[in-house]
Amino acid sequence: MVFLLQASFFLLGLAATITQVIFIREFLVVFYGNELCLGIILLIRTLRGILHIATGEYIGLVPLIISSFLLILPFSLIIGFVFPFACRLLMKEGKPPAIQIGLVYIVEALGSVVGGLAVSLYLLARFPPFEICSFFALLLLANSFCLSLVLEQAKTKVYMATFSFFFLLLYVLLLTSNIFKALDEHSLVKRWDILNPGITLVTSQESKYQHISLARQEAQYSLFGNGQWISSFPDDYQSASLAHFLLTEHPNPKEVLLIGSGFEGMIKEILKHPVSRLDYVELDPRLIETALPFLLPQDREALRKKNVRTLYTDGRHVVKTTKDRYDEIIINLPDPSTAMLNRYYTVDFFQEVKRILKAGGLLVIGVSSSSNYFGKAIRDYAGSVYDSLHEMFPYILISPGERNWFFASDYPGVATFDRDVLRARYEERRIDSPHFSPLHFQLLLPRDRVEFVEQAFRERTQKIVNTDLQPVTYFYNLILWGISSGERGKENIFQALREIRWYWFFLPVIFILFLRVMYLMVSRSKRAEPLPFNCLWAIGTTGFTGMALEIILIFSFQNIYGYIYQQIGIIVALFMVGLALGSYFMNRLISRFESGLRTLISVECLLIIYPLLLPALLMFISRSLTGAAAISESCFMLLVMIAGILTGLEFPLVARLYLTKEGGSGKVAGMVDSADHFGACLGALLTGTLLVPILGLKVSCIFIGILNLTSVTLLVMSLLQEREV
């Protein structure tokens, strides 16, 4: 029976992690790649229709949180209900209750490890999400049937076995009838129709970086990554206008680096300039593979030119590690609407770009804007990119239009908005393009619009700098997200949060600690027992810390290495490996400690020290990437495991201490597990949406350290009270 119970806990952890990974990947598509989102697979794909969200409109923060909570609630409730019952069943096997509770925790964590690795390295590359979920639902039903056979009461055993067997048989019939595959295809089409009505879906596929869709409207094709528009082709006029405008801004662009869209038409136009080498960086090779059969012949031919080198890797990784030098670097990427994209708009990235620019080199980067109106939100958003560029480059020009292009250089006169100079450069190169002429410079750079943009940036009084550790441009994009969501006043929520001083975020934690200390001091004369609550507070802050550190490490992984879509399951799995190791280690040693309370205080102290050291460790790993990428990534994954180990150490300890004051293993397991998950829920919600975007990584880590300091304070008070008794 013990083995059967442990196997069921293992399967439960495995299914939970697989579901979590699929949740994240599916919501990345519905929310245009924004990492703040979680959800449930079938309803996720139709969620925009359920909430009546218009095409191209972002879902607001409040509907996002409410819908995510309601959709994920049934699955979460099932997981939460099972844990205390599992612990209670194992108590009959004779081992100490604290060790049995820890054992359930360990086995469930090991299941999560296997689930994370399986879904990331094998399953998602070969099977659609519905088939993956249906297979593991089948395993859980089979497990339920086996468990029903070991029940003690004969009548209950018959009922449960019959019920489980009936649903198991029904599920097998559904699985063999390919209904799950049909449901997957139907939900994909339904999601597409909601996201992009009127556009015919040609093909879609999963890559290890994103969900790719190719659609057609009349004679034009459009590419989408995670639901977000990437580019449309053929559009020779737009490609020619952009390419010739950007290339003529440099006097002699011989060696060019292009990061982002270009294969749809821009590359062939760039090659009409005196370019001796064009390095084109595209992270996802499947993006080009998907579009290649539908490209114009001359665009396919441009990719095969001898002076074009296509690099299928992360653009920032290229900038960080290359030994080549360039005359012009063009960042042609979407806006920083996600943490992954924001890393191309930071001071840290601009510093890396400056290293590989030749003397007189030019960096070109753009963000969406407004042609006629510069409100505060847009001005702060674009201004954060401008201020960040100014940290590295003294000479910057900004073009007007629906997209502001920033031209940054160390030398004056490299980029110019003098239309006569640009005309002379273009004519000197003898470019033959039916879609562009020198007259276009008058359309692209009207004097009144250039002066309007320059004045708007001159009038800004607040300097805003975007860095890897404090992604403020990403946060300002969230403000625009609030505006785009179409909900009245939603932009004011993020703007108001931005105006709050950083120390106000610490006051609620300090205030709660103050109230608890006052309560303990008043209740001392009544011989009140503070330990149970203090233990639950400690495990709650540890749950918060574990989830917050996991999210910080995910964001940091994107900043350093540039991809997360495939690695989500691996990072979650490694965190769970650490969780299992920490719990196993403590479970083996727990009976040897005289005072579990002192040990718990020591673990909490480690949870103060680790977050405070984390920013420095991440910075060291980032800087070491240039010389040793494999070692750098191994060190990063070690940080993930350490975070899991420190989190896992505490669960058996708290269970033991709580059991000394409260009876009933099932009740104790439920209370401790609930506090752990409640803290983790708050950690996930606050870290991704508020702490990191607003406070930055460093201050967020300080916040985590102070939160654990409150636990140490309360536990020390409990220890002092024990000594008095």
Query: For residues 31, 33, 35 and 41, what is the CA-based torsion angle, rounded to 10 degrees?
Result: 60
pLDDT at 349: 92
pLDDT at 54: 44
CA-CA distance, 210 to 230, in Å (whole number)? Answer: 12
- What confidence tens digit (pLDDT) does each residue in 111-165 have? 777 777 777 667 766 776 667 777 777 777 666 666 666 666 666 667 666 766 7
Percent of the chain's residues with pLDDT above 90: 23
Q: Name all domains of the chain by residue range, CATH numbers in brackets.
A: 1-197 (no CATH), 238-483 (3.40.50.150), 500-725 (1.20.1250.20)
Residue 44 pLDDT greater than 60, yes or no: no
CA-CA distance, 629 to 703, in Å (whole number)? Answer: 31
CB-based burial, 432-448: b 16+ in 10 Å, e otherwise: ebebbebebbeebbeee
Name which residue leads in pLDDT, 218 or 549.
549
CA-CA distance, 672 to 655, in Å (whole number)? Answer: 7
Contact status, residue 402 vs residue 371, Cβ threshold 8 Å: yes
Selection from 320, 312, 310, 382 nearest residue 350 by Cα: 320
The single residue listed with the structure tokens 């990403």 is 474
- What confidence tens digit (pLDDT) does each residue in 343-381 have? 899 998 999 999 999 999 999 999 887 666 667 778 888
Residue type, 447: R
Contact status, residue 284 vs residue 210, Cβ threshold 8 Å: yes
Other CB atoms closer than 10 Å to residue 155's CB: what's the count?
Answer: 8
The single residue listed with the structure tokens 């007259």 is 439
CA-CA distance, 383 to 364, in Å (whole number)? Answer: 15
- Those residues whose C-beta lies under 8 Å from the C-beta of residue 62, and which sit 6 or more positions away, are 487, 490
Helix (H) or strand (E) holding 86: helix 61-90
Residue 621 pLDDT greater than 90, yes or no: no
CA-CA distance, 613 to 390, in Å (whole number)? Answer: 30
pLDDT bracket for residue 53 (50, 70, 90): very low
Ranges 68-82, 218-232, 667-681: which has the least confidence: 68-82
pLDDT at 37: 42
- What confidence tens digit (pLDDT) does each residue in 462-509 have? 788 888 878 888 778 767 765 655 544 444 555 666 666 767 778 888
Strand ranges, E, within 303-356: 308-311, 326-332
- Scanning 459-595, the segments in alpha helix (DSSP H) are 472-484, 490-499, 507-523, 531-561, 568-589
Q: Dihedral sign, CA of 45, 51, 52, 57?
A: negative
